[in-house]
A and B are shown apart, each in its own frame.
Chain A
Amino acid sequence: MKVIKIDKNEWASGLEKLRSAYELIGPVKEKFYHAFQSLESGQQPDMDYINTRVSPKYVIYPQSELILECSLNENDEDYKIYKEPEKEYTPKAILGIRPCDADSFSLVRRNFDTEEYKDPYWLRAYASTTFVGLACDQPCPTCFCSSAGSGPYSDNNLDILLADNGDHYLARVLTEKGKKLASAAGWSQEAGDEADQQIEQKKQEAESAIQSSVKTDKLASQSLLDLYDATNAIWEKEAFSCINCGTCTFVCPTCWCFDVQDEVAGKKGYRIRNWDSCMYPLFTMHASGHNPRGTKVDRLRQRFMHKLKYYVDKYENGIQCTGCGRCVQLCPVNIDIRRICNMLNSYDPESCTCEVTAS
Chain B
Amino acid sequence: MVNPYIPYPVRIDEIKTETEDKSLKTFKFVFLNPEDEEKFAYRAGQFAELSIPGLGEIPIGIASSPVEKGFVKFTIFKTGKVTSYLHSMKEGDIMGIRGPLGNWYPWDLLEGKNVVIIGGGFAFTTLRSSIIYMLDPENRKKFKDIHVIYGARSPGMLLYKEELEQWAARDDLNMHITVDGTDDPEWKHHTGFVPTITEQEAPAGTEDTYAIVCGPPVMIKFTQPVLDKLGYTDDRIIMSLENRMKCGIGMCGRCNIGKEFVCKDGPVFTLRQLNQTPKEY
Residues of A within 8 A of B (CB): 67-68, 70, 72, 79-84, 111-112, 114, 116-120, 123-124, 224-225, 228, 256-264, 269-271, 273, 276, 278, 283-288, 290, 292-293, 298, 302, 305-306, 309-311, 313-314
List B contacts of A258 (CB < 8 A). Answer: 246-247, 251-253
Whether A82 and B53, one on each chain, are in contact in the complex, defined by CB atoms closer than 8 angstroms, is: yes
List A contacts of B95 (CB < 8 A). Answer: 80
Q: Which residues from 115 to 155 on chain B have a C-beta closer than 8 Å to any C-beta of chain A?
A: none
Whether B246 and A260, one on each chain, are in contact in the complex, defined by CB atoms closer than 8 angstroms, is: yes
Whether B243 and A70, one on each chain, are in contact in the complex, defined by CB atoms closer than 8 angstroms, is: no
Whether B253 and A70, one on each chain, are in contact in the complex, defined by CB atoms closer than 8 angstroms, is: no
List B contacts of A273 (CB < 8 A). Answer: 252
Q: Given A258-B246, A269-B54, A310-B259, do A68 and B6 touch, yes or no (CB 8 Å)?
A: yes
Whether A114 and B1, one on each chain, are in contact in the complex, defined by CB atoms closer than 8 angstroms, is: no
Whether A262 and B264, one on each chain, are in contact in the complex, defined by CB atoms closer than 8 angstroms, is: no
- Other A-B pairs beyond A80-B95, A258-B247, 9, CB < 8 Å: A70-B54, A81-B53, A81-B96, A224-B277, A225-B278, A228-B258, A262-B54, A286-B243, A292-B281
List A contacts of B264 (CB < 8 A). Answer: 116
Q: Once bound together, how far apart are the Cα atoms of A283 and B217, in whole Å?
A: 20
Whether A117 and B251, one on each chain, are in contact in the complex, defined by CB atoms closer than 8 angstroms, is: yes
Whether B53 and A269, one on each chain, are in contact in the complex, defined by CB atoms closer than 8 angstroms, is: yes
Q: Once bound together, how far apart are the Cα atoms of A312 and B252, in whole Å?
A: 18
List A contacts of B54 (CB < 8 A). Answer: 70, 72, 80, 262-264, 269-270
CB < 8 Å: which of B1, B6, B79, B252 contacts A276? B252
Whether A120 and B1, one on each chain, are in contact in the complex, defined by CB atoms closer than 8 angstroms, is: yes
Whether B96 and A112, one on each chain, are in contact in the complex, defined by CB atoms closer than 8 angstroms, is: no
Instruction: Give the shortest distance, in Å, between A97 (CB) and chain B (any CB).
Output: 23
List A contacts of B244 (CB < 8 A). Answer: 283-287
Q: Once bound together, how far apart are the Cα atoms of A259 and B83, in whole Å?
A: 18
List A contacts of B254 (CB < 8 A). Answer: 257, 276, 278, 283-284
Q: Once bound together, how far apart are the Cα atoms of A286 and B259, in whole Å?
A: 20
Q: Once bound together, how far apart are the Cα atoms of A112 and B1, in whole Å?
A: 13
CB < 8 Å: which of B3, B79, B94 contacts A120? B3
Instruction: Give the shortest distance, in Å, between B81 (CB) and chain A (any CB).
Output: 8
CB < 8 Å: which of A84, A114, A118 contacts B6? A84
Q: Which residues from 208 to 237 on chain B have a C-beta closer than 8 Å to any C-beta of chain A?
A: 217
Instruction: Give the shortest distance, in Å, between B220 (CB) and chain A (any CB).
Output: 13
Instruction: Give the shortest distance, in Å, between A64 (CB) and chain B (any CB).
Output: 14
B250: CB under 8 A from chain A? yes
- Considering the complex, give the chain B residue whose CB is closest to the CB of A124: B1
Whether A292 and B243, one on each chain, are in contact in the complex, defined by CB atoms closer than 8 angstroms, is: yes
List B contacts of A270 (CB < 8 A). Answer: 54
Instruction: Give the shortest distance, in Å, between A304 (CB) and chain B (any CB).
Output: 13
Instruction: Give the shortest distance, in Å, between B249 (CB) and chain A (any CB).
Output: 4
Whether A293 and B247, one on each chain, are in contact in the complex, defined by CB atoms closer than 8 angstroms, is: no
List B contacts of A117 (CB < 8 A). Answer: 4, 249-251
List B contacts of A116 (CB < 8 A). Answer: 249-250, 264
- Considering the complex, give the chain A residue whose CB is closest to the CB of B95: A80
Q: Once bound together, how far apart are the Cα atoms of A276 and B246, in whole Å?
A: 11
Instruction: Give the shortest distance, in Å, between A68 (CB) and chain B (any CB).
Output: 6
Whether A72 and B53, one on each chain, are in contact in the complex, defined by CB atoms closer than 8 angstroms, is: yes
Q: Once bound together, how far apart are the Cα atoms of A136 and B259, in whole Å?
A: 33
Q: Once bound together, how far apart are the Cα atoms of A314 and B253, in whole Å?
A: 14
- Considering the complex, give the chain B residue whose CB is closest to the CB of A311: B259
Whether B259 and A314, one on each chain, are in contact in the complex, defined by CB atoms closer than 8 angstroms, is: yes
Instruction: Give the shortest distance, in Å, between B169 (CB) and chain A (any CB).
Output: 35
Q: Given A260-B246, A286-B244, A310-B259, do A84 and B281 touch, yes or no (CB 8 Å)?
A: no
B114: CB under 8 A from chain A? no
Q: Once bound together, how far apart are the Cα atoms of A225 and B244, in whole Å?
A: 22
List B contacts of A286 (CB < 8 A). Answer: 242-244
Could you list 7 A-B pairs, sorted by A, with CB under 8 Å?
A81-B32, A228-B278, A257-B253, A258-B251, A262-B54, A276-B252, A276-B253
- Considering the complex, give the chain B residue whose CB is closest to the CB of A294: B280
Instruction: Give the shortest distance, in Å, between A229 (CB) and chain B (any CB).
Output: 9
The 9 closest A-B pairs by CB, nearest first: A257-B253, A287-B80, A269-B54, A310-B259, A292-B280, A269-B53, A117-B249, A264-B54, A260-B246
Instruction: Give the shortest distance, in Å, between A259 (CB) and chain B (any CB).
Output: 6
Instruction: Give the shortest distance, in Å, between A266 (CB) and chain B (any CB).
Output: 11
B198: CB under 8 A from chain A? no
- Considering the complex, give the chain A residue whose CB is closest to the CB of B217: A290
B7: CB under 8 A from chain A? yes
